[in-house]
Amino acid sequence: MDKNSFFLPDWRRRLLKHHLLTSLIALEFVLSVIFLFVGYVSGHIYFRGVGVGLIIAWVTSGVAYLFQKQMVNP
């Protein structure tokens, strides 16, 4: 694969290869904050529900990540 690819530049390749789990946890956190904010501003319970679901997802992912780190480095 070409090193100077448009779709997979070096910074994105390093991020996905070494920090995929932390990147996904951060993305879930950011999306949960956005959906909760939109839900409270617009008053739609659907957006708040999606935000709460994403909070559950990133907390669960964070706990799994911590347990994985603990198992790898006891």
- For residues 60 and 32, give the distance between their C-alpha atoms in angstroms, rounded to a whole number: 13
Query: CA-based diameter of the chain, in Å?
Result: 47
Q: Are 21 and 61 in contact (CB under 8 A)?
A: yes
pLDDT for 74 equals 60
pLDDT for 2 equals 54
Cβ burial 18-40 (10 Å sphere, 16+ → b, else e):
eeeeeeebeebbebbeebbebbe
Query: What are the 10-residue block averages of pLDDT along the chain, 74 residues in total?
Result: 65 74 88 94 93 92 85 69
- What is the pTM assigned to this prediction? 0.70
- For residues 38 and 46, give the distance between their C-alpha atoms in angstroms, rounded to a whole number: 10
33-51 pLDDT, tens digit per residue, is: 999 999 999 999 999 999 9
pLDDT for 47 equals 94
